[in-house]
Structure 1
Amino acid sequence: MEMLISLSPIILMFVIFYFLLIRPQQKRQKKVKEMQADLQKGDSVVTIGGFHGVVHAIDENTVIIQAGDGSKLTYDRSAIREVVQN
């Protein structure tokens, strides 16, 4: 019983960390993965590096993004940060 009482602050701290840090991060990661899986040709996107463009073609692991001047760049799907609504 004394051991449980002495460990309770550590257990409480773990529970607080889980609900304040770990769980929200897992939700964000899940949302980003879903967004990257739902990419479609014609979507306006922003990459992690800040490049803005339109999805020209999609492969299993790569995305070809067309810039405003017509140039096309190939990125990994994981490099897409967000889909921008026009």
Structure 2
Amino acid sequence: MNFNTLTGTTAASGGNMWTIVLLYAAIIGAFYFFGIRPQSKKKKNEEKMRNNVQIGDEITTIGGVVGRVVGIKDDSDTIVIETGTDRVKMRIKRWAIGSIDTIHADAE
């Protein structure tokens, strides 16, 4: 009696294993290209935007405060903005910038 007929295994079971491995690899690849990669690109663009802020730019913080940049302190990573009609000055951290609303002539 043949051992393969007793156990019910054939040569096709090795092919099924590779199919499953390739399926898992495709799922992991899809997670990378649709989830991780776009998120890292977005994070890199936000960091570039925050590092390119200039005095005079109109910004919106992640908390919704709108103001104009009047000072940048490089050593402490702090930005001073002026907001409202009373021209109140606020110190914020660079990471708190949500968007820069000023359009520069050299922007791409």
TM over 0.5: yes
TM-score, with structure 1 as normaliser: 0.91
Aligned to 1:64: 80
Give the number of the structure whose alpha-carbon radius of gyration is greater: 2
Once superposed, what is the RMSD of the aligned Cα atoms? 1.4
Aligned residue identity for 1:44:
E
Residues 16-73 of structure 1, C-alpha deviation per residue, up to 9 Å, x if partnerless? 1111111111111111000110010000000000000000101121111101221111
Gaps of 5+ in 1: none
Q: How many residues align?
A: 86
Identity of aligned residues (%): 34
Matches within 5 A, 1:1-86: 2=15, 3-60=17-74, 61-68=77-84, 69-85=86-102
Normalised to the residue count of structure 2, the TM-score between the two structures is: 0.73
For CA contacts below 8 A with separation 6 or more, give which structure has more relative contact order.
Answer: 1
Distance 2:20 2:29 in 1: 16
